[in-house]
A and B are shown apart, each in its own frame.
Chain A
Amino acid sequence: MAAKGATSSGGAKDGTSDSSSSSKKNSKKPKYSRFTQQELPACKPILTPGWVITTFIVVGIIFIPIGFASLFASEWVVEIVDRYDEDCVPHNYTYNKLAYIQNSETNKTCMKRLIVPKQMKSPVYIYYQLDNFYQNHRRYVKSRSDKQLRSRASERDTSSCKPEAVRGNNYPIVPCGLIAWSLFNDTYGFSVKNKALEVSKKNIAWKSDREHKFGSDVYPKNFQSGGLIGGAKLNASIPLSEQEDLIVWMRTAALPTFRKLYGKIETDLEANDEITVVIQNNYNIYSFGGKKSLVLSTTSWIGGKNDFLGVAYLTVGGLCLFLAISFIFLYVIMPRPLGDPSYLSWNRGQVNIWSKTVRHSFVLMKEIIFGKKAGNHMLAS
């Protein structure tokens, strides 16, 4: 090595360095790892017809049964929807519903009869449905104070509650804010064959809300005591954590049409039973053209009656199968070798006439495909 070093110093003069001189400077070299050399082992899948067609078939095969299952579940749910906002206004007020609802003197009681179409197994859920009611309006949705609801100590934490924050100058409203203020105040009484149905109002709100969001030491204060009355009043001797109607109401809905749980009927309802509902029609939806409905519904694994998921699953599954089949069809009539170098444009001189005819037939096919694709988009929207 020493002898070699000597010659290499002479050689370095000529500029011809050899391995010994390069090995000396190895310290400058960066560390070697597969990451630094971008040589991590990688799997490089490509879209072979086999893969793509299989994927579509598998998705189709999985989705269609799920679609049917959801659809059946949704069908299995028995639901009675009864809109009462129109019917519950006396005829003399038909053209002045607002006056009717705002007049505290008028009789708000209203009787409705509902026929049970199919047997409804208990529990039967009672919902009220409001339409065109924007619980998600920004002004509304923000107007609450979670801190105040949670603990008595934060009673004065009402800054976010405007315009329903304080009564007078210095008396905080508990619960404050527009949401609580506008609490729904229609009530329903049910009876079947002149026998009152017991409506359970317990456990209609989320357990977590009762336990964590609404304090058991927070009592309503100064609520609905101002000049402008919004919705329901609250019993000031019951802590918020037990005011379940309020808790349900305070879970704001994301859509302008929503249902909120009113209570549960713990007995089965038989088919063709006639239910008499006594409605106290107090809540004002007339001023903005809203709707009120009473909903009785059973439930299934998928929730209430909602065909959307089932139909969507069936459509997507069907489309996947359709795509798979048309890709198979395409593949059969127009097999196309992957990675054919003759399609590289810089070798295009070599593309022969045969492949040009294929290319032509392809343009025709493309139109078919694109037509289908457009349909696909329409489904999604």
Chain B
Amino acid sequence: MGTVQLWPLITPVNPASTWGPLIFIFFVSATKEAWDDYNRYISDKKANEKEVWVVRQGIRKLVRAQNIQVGNILWIQENDELPCDLVLLGTSDPQGVCYIETAALDGETDLKTRIIPPVCMGIDYELLHKIKGVIECPGPDRDIRRFDANLRLFPPFLDNDLCPLTIKNTILQSCYLRNTEWACGVAVYTGNETKLGMCRGIPKPKLTAVDAVIDKLTGAIFVFQIVVVIVLGIAGNVWKDTEARRQWYVHYPMEGPWFELLVIPLRFELLCSIMIPISIKVSLDLVKSLYAKFIDWDYKMIDQETGTPSHAANTAISEDLGQVEYILTDKTGTLTENKMIFRRCCINGIFYGSESGDALKDVELVDAVSSGSADVVRFLTVMAICNTVIPMKSKTGDILYKAQSQDEDALVRAAAQLHLVFFNKNANILEITFHASTIQYEVLETLEFTSDRKKMSVIVKDCQNGRIHLFSKGADEAILPDAYSGQKTRVFVEAVEQYTQLGLRTLCLACRELNEDEYREWSFLFKEASSNLVDREWRIAEVCQMLEHDLEILGVTAIEDRLQDGVPETIETLRKAGINFWMLTGDKQNTAIQIALSCNFISPDPKGQLLSIDGKTEAEVHRSLERVLLTMRITTTEPKDVAFVIDGWALEIALKYYRNAFTELAILTRTAICCRVTPSQKAQLVELLKSCEYRTLAIGDGGNDVRMIQQADIGVGISGREGLQAARAADYSIGKFRFLKRLILVHGRYSYNRTAFLSQYSFYKSLLLCFIQIFFSFISGVSGTSLFNSFSLMAYNVFYTSIPVLVSVLDKDLSEETVMQHPQILFYCQAGRLLNPSTFAGWFGRSLFHAIVVFVISINAYAYEKSEMEEVSMVALSGCIWLQAFVVTWETNSFTILQHIAIWGNLAAFYIINLILSALPSSGMHTIMFRLCRQPSYWTTVFLMVAAGMGPILALKYFRYTYRPSKINILQQAERMGGPILSIASIEPQPRSLEKDVSSLSITQPKNRNPVYEPLLSDSPNTRRSLGSGKPFDLFQSQSRLSPSYSSNCKDN
């Protein structure tokens, strides 16, 4: 466009009027890009320049991380972060074990053990420098759970067979070495070819829904522009041939150049090129980075525990936050704190901690401990030693526990608080103290936990009396059937039921005394099974089962994975805002459902209904899916909160074979729980919802959520306990789940509203000027004369009109409190009510109307002897500036001092700039502004334009505001009048405490342990139970659902 303008024959105005803003825009965007790049460069440099010990020619040297090459031997110290993927060769531990924390990789915070390959066993420290060998490994891939490779060492080391390597022999990039003094290994993958690097993928630039709408509108305006250009071009050529050739003073040559026909259309193209505001890009970039800054700055989104502020890494997509329709959330660490706390227990039929909710504070239990009750002591002993926890003495003398499982950690710590302290583990000797006496146990065997067995056991020998005990703990369904025949397990079943209803994670503890012979006999079998090469796991399980029977059930523990503060309220608020929630977790179905219940994710019967999709085979899944879909279709008319639960296996099948049915289900349901899903399935689900044109937000905290976060329209990472990987990959990182509410309802909503106004306003002001030019062309012989001079055209977009609108980033239509109280108002953003073709048509009409007002008034008021070109141009421009100042004022909901300065200061600046220009003799508008300002008719003309332009708009707005108010208007009125808002607030359901809610639940349905209701069964009246305090269920999106059937439904119950 600019190039065409450089051609003086057709250019209506000075090229600077197009080139000036263009250069300015490029400059601004380029600066921003450069700044981002610089920051990225700094962080890359930091990572690359970290120094690590690398063996070079047999000598250990400090080398920059960027210089590590595949095949280098690296030495890692305790608490170092791995710079690349390693195959372990040696560790400080004589057994060749080391501990790593993989939080950044898969989001699991517990320590994992890694072991050196058997062939490297026993190689001493010095020799490790000289070790030589070959590792055959596959090319880099993204599977962090597999590593199938072979290792062969060269002489003088063992040179027998190939030694197979598995993931157990590796440490991957960005893990941390813990509890191990040093470890050394061979770099196998480096740089971006590590497993982590491959997983990371390249994040695609995200385009917001608002951007898409703006693009469409721009396209529409472009088409309009082309039409205008063609019409005016033809009209211009016709006029030229019929009229202009007769007008001798225009002096048209009889024979023009070949391109003559094109000259007039091209001129109009240039005149109309301002129709698409190029400044919109800069304005949007500026305000978007300000939105992001507001998120960074927000004090209410700072995690008080860690002091981490929220951060918007992607500055371009804040509006999308306001348009979220689906939130896909991880469970552990996102909804919960990932902090296990021992809450209750049932020992030998006695419930502890039922009243206070904390067994450790239960006087009865404390008394029982101090009196040394045998049952309790045995119970505590199992809690303390039936695990794989490693106690460590810290420098201050405290004992730190390193546990692979957070549950075990919680149990051991609880036992310690009840004075049974597990304080040392020395090879196979465990030492515990109880009331100042030390007891030693020798661990004979550990029967490890597998997800199939759902239990683990240890066989220990009491070093004092030599007795051998089997201590077991595990899920109730795994332990209770193994009770000895005489024991009454009913009380434990009840305990488990009760605890599960409370959303606690239960474990049953059991023990059995073994006699020497039995153990020895079994031990032989166990060793045989362990060395088996075929079906080893299965054989071991079988052997273990031989020992784990006739158990004496000691009791049940209940551990709480506490929900983060404010999670239920947040979810309730966001659900009320019309956002659908999906929970995607790697956890078990039951736990997932319990958490879902306790955080308002799904409602208990009868308000809510949970349908289960399960099955191991295609047919089963299909049947289940169809049934759920059927129920779902029926219940859409009911005000019921129907959710479905699906596990990873069924999901795999559903996604593979029944994608359409599943998609339909996904659209129908507002809530879903997917358990046992893999990171890639999480991403697939996001993809599925995105393919249905939904705006998705994925929130998670661990490395396993990274793919989902990157896949979603908006990725939110919780910078929590599972490291920062999710937070780094995400567009936004927040400290706690509850900030999501503020992020969406406050920041997202405001951003959307502001962008909606700003973009449409930008079009409005450009169109306004353009329409005037078009009208003017009709009275200037359709020859493409510009009414406005070059400077005005340039300054109009860049100075006069852009500053007032930029301060609209401070505009708040509703106060934050009101939005929080009425989250339903988010619907306006979700549905795109503030920026769509019809609102745009309103703005288009407004600019047309204003252009007519300005043009008609200026050419009539400045007619005859006053119709001097520069003066008329200035009058029209003044009219535009005044009108736009008033339009911004009209559309602003809250005026801060900055807005006043910007709007009125800008108006003043317009006069100052033009007065200065008028003072310059060389400028085209020399003295024009002085003359105008002295004329009473100038001011009367301008005020007439303002009144005629704004009067109808005010009237219309007032009429709509008062008699056809939108929800936003009503809330605005309510908020600013004081009064009635309080009455609405009282209708709002109060935030419920978890305990209260759950206890009412457990009273009403004590028998109903499994909350997965068979869909068809639950339709029968028998299974429906009233909740007692039935709260009206708020469904905003489903106004249609709030039909009379709702009340009748309630009565039925």
Task: Using known A-B contacts A339-B981, A343-B970, A377-B952, determine if residue A30 contacts B309 with beta carbons closer than 8 Å.
Answer: yes
Which chain A residues border B396 with CB–CB below 8 Å? 6, 9-10
Residue-by-residue, is A145-170 near B (CB-CB < 8 Å gives 1, otherwise 0)?
Answer: 01000000000000010011000000
Q: List 14 A-B contacts (CB under 8 A).
A: A15-B337, A15-B339, A32-B299, A42-B895, A59-B951, A134-B250, A140-B249, A178-B249, A182-B249, A301-B936, A319-B951, A338-B977, A339-B973, A339-B974
Q: How far is the CB of A241 from chain B (nearest CB, A)?
A: 13
CB of A281 within 8 Å of the partner chain? no
Cβ 8 A contact of A344, one of B783, B949, B971: B971
Contact B952 A136 (CB under 8 A): no
Are B297 and A136 in touch, CB under 8 angstroms?
A: no
Q: In whole angstroms, how far apart are the Cα atoms of A289 and B243 in the complex?
A: 10
Q: A141-B785, A344-B822 are in contact. Are A313 and B867 (CB under 8 A)?
A: no
Query: Any chain B CB within 8 A of the CB of A284?
Result: yes
Contacts of B898 in A (CB 8 A): 40
Min CB–CB distance A49 → chain B (angstroms)? 7
Which of B223-231, B300-308, B622-630, B640-648 lies at the interface with chain A?
B300-308
In whole angstroms, what is the CA distance A142 to B1033 when docked? 71
Chain A residues, CB < 8 A from B252: 139
Question: Is B869 within 8 A of A212, CB to CB?
Answer: no
Among the stretches B66-74, B75-83, B1034-1042, the one at the interface with A is B1034-1042
Closest A residue by C-beta to B780: A136
5 other A-B residue contacts (CB within 8 Å) besides A10-B398, A381-B856? A140-B250, A339-B980, A341-B970, A341-B983, A376-B952
The one of B247, B296, B970 that contacts A288, using a Cβ cutoff of 8 Å = B247
For A31, the closest partner residue in chain B by CB is B297
Please indicate the chain B residues that have their CB under 8 angstroms from the CB of A280 in the complex. none
Q: Are A137 and B250 in contact (CB-based, < 8 A)?
A: yes
Given the contacts A25-B307, A43-B895, A336-B963, A260 and B865 also touching, CB distance less than 8 Å: yes
A17 interface hit (Cβ, 8 Å): yes
Interface residues of A in 191-215 (CB under 8 A from B): 206, 208, 212-213
- Which single member of A37, A139, A366 contacts B250 (CB below 8 Å)? A139
- Of A86-94, A113-121, A268-276, A346-354, the segment with at least 4 beta carbons within 8 Å of chain B is A346-354
| Best-surrounded residue of B781, B859, B862 (most CB of chain A within 10 A) | B781
Report Cα–Cα, A127/B967, bound state, in Å.
60
Contacting pair B937 A309 (CB below 8 A): yes
Bound CA–CA A346/B940 (angstroms):
48
Task: Scan residues 9-44 of chain A and give those whose CB is less than 8 A from a CB of chain B.
Answer: 9-10, 13-15, 17, 21-22, 24-26, 28-32, 36-38, 40-44
- Name which residue of chain B comes closest to A16, CB basis: B339
Do the beta carbons of A380 and B852 come within 8 Å of each other?
yes
> Is A178 in contact with B250, judged by CB distance below 8 angstroms?
yes
CB nearest neighbor in A for B400: A13
B residues less than 8 Å from A309 (CB atoms): 861, 937, 940-941, 944
Contact partners of A164 in chain B: CB under 8 A: 251
Q: Does A261 contact B (CB under 8 A)?
A: yes
Q: Does A252 contact B (CB under 8 A)?
A: yes
Size of A's binding interface in residues, CB under 8 A: 115
- Once the chains bind, are B12 and A340 in contact (CB under 8 Å)? no
Contact pick for B869, options A253, A259, A308, CB 8 Å: A253
Q: How distant is the Cα of A319 from the Cα of B961 in the complex, in angstroms? A: 20
* B262: interface (CB < 8 Å): no
- A369 to B927: give the CA distance in the assembly, Å: 46
A344 pairs with B984, CB closer than 8 A: yes
Is the C-beta of B114 less than 8 angstroms from some C-beta in chain A?
A: no
- The answer for the CA separation of A71 and B307 in the assembled complex, in Å, is 70
B812 interface residue per 8 A CB criterion: yes
Residues of A within 8 A of B852 (CB): 380-381
Residue B670, interface by CB 8 Å: no
Residue pair B955, A288 in contact (C-beta under 8 Å): no
Contact pattern, A 277-306, Cβ under 8 Å of B = 1, otherwise 0: 000000010011100000000000111101
Q: How many residues does chain B have at the interface if contact means C-beta atoms less than 8 Å apart? A: 120
Contacting pair B948 A28 (CB below 8 A) = no
Interchain nearest-CB distance for B400 vs A (Å): 6
Closest to A34 in B: B896
Name B's interface SS: helix
Q: How far is the CA of A28 from the CA of B305 in the complex (A)?
A: 12
The 8 Å CB contact of A134, one of B247, B924, B973, is B247
Smallest beta-carbon distance B1003→chain A, Å: 29
Q: Which residues of B sit under 8 angstroms from A40, Cβ to Cβ?
A: 810, 896-898
Shortest C-beta distance, A211 to chain B (Å), equals: 8
How distant is the Cα of A376 from the Cα of B954 in the complex, in angstroms?
12
Question: Is A100 in the interface zone, CB < 8 Å from B?
Answer: no
A190 in the interface, Cβ–Cβ < 8 Å? no
A141: nearest chain-B partner, CB-CB? B785
Contact of A139 among B8, B783, B824 (CB under 8 A): B783
B95 at the interface (CB under 8 A from A): no
Does the CB pair A66–B869 fall under 8 Å? no
Distance (Å) between the CB of B461 and the closest chain A CB? Answer: 31
Residues of A within 8 A of B (CB): 6, 9-10, 13-15, 17, 21-22, 24-26, 28-32, 36-38, 40-47, 49, 52, 55-56, 59, 63, 66, 70, 125, 127, 129, 133-141, 146, 160, 163-164, 178, 181-182, 206, 208, 212-213, 230-231, 251-261, 284, 287-289, 301-304, 306, 308-309, 312-313, 316, 319-320, 323, 327, 330, 334, 336-341, 343-349, 362, 365-366, 369, 373, 376-377, 379-381
Determine the chain A residues whose CB is within 8 A of the CB of B783 once the complex forms. Answer: 134, 137-139
| Chain B residues with CB below 8 A from A366, complex form | 959, 963-964
Q: How far is the CB of B579 from chain A (nearest CB, A)?
A: 14
Contact partner of B247 among A15, A55, A137, CB < 8 A? A137
Q: What distance in Å separates the Cβ of B690 from its nearest Cβ neighbour in chain A?
A: 28
Which residue in A49, A66, A302 is a CB contact (below 8 Å) of B962?
A49
Inside 8 A of A70's CB, which chain B residues have their CB? 940
User: Which of B862, B866, B962, B976 meets A336, CB within 8 Å?
Assistant: B962
Shortest Cβ distance from residue A381 to the other chain B in the assembled complex, whole angstroms: 5
B784 part of interface (Cβ distance < 8 Å): yes
Does B926 touch A at the CB level, under 8 Å?
yes
Verify B253–A28 contact, CB threshold 8 A: no
The 5 A-B pairs with the shortest beta carbon distances in the complex, nearest first, are: A339-B974, A339-B973, A25-B307, A36-B297, A182-B249
Is there contact, CB below 8 Å, between B926 and A208? Answer: yes
Q: Are A136 and B781 in contact (CB under 8 A)?
A: yes
Q: Is B258 an interface residue (CB 8 A)?
A: no
Please state if B253 and A163 are interface contacts (CB–CB under 8 Å): yes
Interface bits B856-876 vs A (CB < 8 Å: 1, else 0) = 110111111111111111000
Q: How far is the CB of A150 from chain B (nearest CB, A)?
A: 8
Residues from chain A with Cβ under 8 Å of B973 in the complex: 46, 338-340
User: Which residues of chain A are near B926, meaning CB under 8 Å?
Assistant: 208, 212-213
List the A side residues contacting B975 at CB < 8 Å: 44, 339
Q: Is the CB of A134 within 8 A of B781?
A: yes
CA distance A101 to B253 in the complex (A): 22
B1030 contacts chain A at the CB level, 8 A cutoff: no
Asked if A306 and B863 sit within 8 Å, CB to CB, the answer is yes
Residue of A nearest to B852 (CB): A381
Is B849's CB under 8 angstroms from A26's CB? Answer: no
A residues in contact with B980, CB < 8 Å: 337, 339-341
B845 to chain A minimum Cβ distance, whole angstroms, is 10
- Take A59-B947, A212-B921 as given contacts and tell me if A345 and B781 are in contact as well, using a CB distance cutoff of 8 Å: no
Shortest Cβ gap from A353 to chain B (Å): 15
C-alpha spacing A96/B154, complex, angstroms = 116
How far apart sit A298 and B963, CA to CA, in the bound complex (Å)?
Answer: 51
A41 and B896 form a contact (CB under 8 A): yes
B781 pairs with A22, CB closer than 8 A? no
Flag if B951 contacts A38 (CB, 8 Å). Answer: no
Q: Which of B929-972 contact A (CB under 8 A)?
A: 931, 935-937, 940-941, 944, 947-949, 951-952, 954-959, 961-965, 967, 970-972
B716 at the interface (CB under 8 A from A): no
In the complex, the answer to whether A343 meets B785 with C-beta atoms within 8 Å is no
The residue on B at minimum CB distance from A297 is B865
Question: Which residues of chain A have C-beta atoms less than 8 A from B964's C-beta?
Answer: 366
Which one of A22, A134, A381 has the highest number of Cβ atoms from chain B below 10 Å of its Cβ? Answer: A134
